[in-house]
Amino acid sequence: MVENALVDWSRAQFALTAGYHWIFVPLTLGLAVIMATMETLYVIKRDEFWKRTAKFWMKLFAINFAVGIATGIILEFEFGTNWSNYSWFVGDIFGAPLAIEGILAFFMEATFFAVMFFGWEKVNRKTHLAATWLTGIGASISAIWILIANAWMQHPVGMEFNPDTVRHEMVDFWALALNPVAIVKFFHSVFSGWMTGSIFVIGISSWYLLKKRETRFALASIRVAAVVGIIGTAALMLSGDGSGIHVAKYQPMKLAAAEGLEQGGEAAPFSLVPGVEIPGMLSLLATHDVDGYVPGIQELLQGYTDSDGITHPSAAEKIERGRLALNAFRDYRALKESNPEAAAEARKVLEENVAYFGYGYIQQPEELIPPVSLVYWSFRVMVGFGGFLLLLMVVVLWAEWKGRLTGMKWLQLLSLCSIPLVYLAGQAGWIVAEVGRQPWVIQGLLPTKAAVSGVSVGAVQTTFFLFVVIFTLFLAIELRIMVKAIKEGPKIADC
């Protein structure tokens, strides 16, 4: 029971930190593109209006950027404090992209951010514009290395297990960096940031319209944000399609949980809500074939043969082979000095079963099923809100283009109230990605319960509630500063 409590509290603390951090990251990615686009218009048109418009959104970007850094640093420290077994087991691999992110991307962001924020009157227009775009590019580069690390946890590649060091060691850096899951995840996360930033700008600008203030500024901001948001959301949907293919291939249990699919098969239906299904749609999304085979939870537990004739072992068989690998590993470690021949035999058994090593920690097949209801509804929140927000941006852009938006108070109010929805959609997406792969920290390689540090439950509980207070304080401070800046307005003379 103590072990389960430690795992649960460690997971809760990491989820808390990651959830708070993801409040700030997508807005940083989205505002970076929007404010850089506005500054580009300033450089092209040489209109001071666009300069002041860009500077206003840059101020909100800077507030959000600063708080996001603080939560991100804490998140990385938790790998050493709460997940030391994980850090030891795969630190040679997982640490590489995080180190690159810290050395390259973070310093790139910091350098160009300083020029961007403080250099308006110190460098020429084109140099400043370059610094603004490079700040945004730096944020995206930072994201890609973090997402490479995360994608490796979803689909581990480019490594080998060394029983002498008890570590997985990198053997192919480019397999790690060009992991297809990482590439799709990067674009999906970045474009979700575009949508977040766009809805934020549209919502805040609508508040100005409701207050009948800075009308020209608000309409211009809505026009730029809606275009960026529509492009970003369309690309988000395309990357989501690619992500679905990868999940079906590398994490079929996550897909089954996201669909609540107990029994799979060919022409698998897509569940809109419980009891309402579209025949064959899940097969089409997962395999790009309406008659494609998609295993359900029961097939994944009991074993199945897919449409390509490949037989997949049952969960019980995987667990048994995992225990063979664990026992062979222990024998190898115990015998390698005293009995080299027996140790060599043990190592051979280990190498034959090492792909199932993590399953050796699983006690019952049912442990391999993630929380189905949470994953199922989180997926629908993500897709449902995402579809609604895309429609909202199209309608807002149409109304602005037709010159009708200033008279549509209901649409202005709806836009303002939609800001929380884009954050809920983003958080729901990460719940699907991370909770959906449970019980694994690294898919099929290391279960969560084998990755935690040997710390007391009380210590994790104490820091959990401490972080609740600190992060809530961070968020409250950010919101207060942002609200104050928004109320002051852009201070544009010809607004």
- Model pLDDT for residues 217-240, shown as the tens digit of each residue: 999 999 999 999 999 999 999 999
What's the pTM value of the predicted model, to 2 decimals? 0.92
Confidence at 492, pLDDT banded by 50, 70, 90: low
The pLDDT of residue 142 is: 85
With left for phi above 0 and alpha for psi between -120 and 50, is residue 309 left, alpha or beta? left
Residues of the chain above pLDDT 90, percent: 68
* Residue 169, beta-bridge partner list: 160
Query: How far apart are the C-alpha atoms of 323 and 405, rounded to whole Å?
Result: 65
- Decide which of 438 and 91 is more confident: 438
Query: How far apart are the C-alpha atoms of 494 and 490, rounded to whole Å?
Result: 11
The 10s digit of each residue's pLDDT in 403-452 is 999 999 999 999 999 999 999 999 999 999 999 999 999 998 999 999 88
Q: CA dist 451 to 85, 102, 171, 209, 215, Å? A: 5, 24, 22, 51, 54
User: In sequence order, what E strands does 34-170 have?
Assistant: 159-162, 167-170
Q: Coil, strand, or helix at residue 77?
A: helix
Contact residues for 79 (Cβ-Cβ < 8 A; gap 6+): 86, 87, 94
Distance spanning both ends of the chain, measured CA to CA: 63
The pLDDT of residue 3 is: 63
Does 458 score more than 60 pLDDT? yes
Please report how many Cα atoms fall inside a 13 Å half-sphere around the Cα of residue 61, on the Cβ side.
Answer: 28
- Decide which of 495 and 403 is more confident: 403
Confidence at 107, pLDDT banded by 50, 70, 90: confident
* Residue 311, beta-bridge partner list: 305
Q: Average pLDDT in the 258-267 region?
A: 93
Query: How far apart are the C-alpha atoms of 88 and 9, rounded to whole Å?
Result: 20
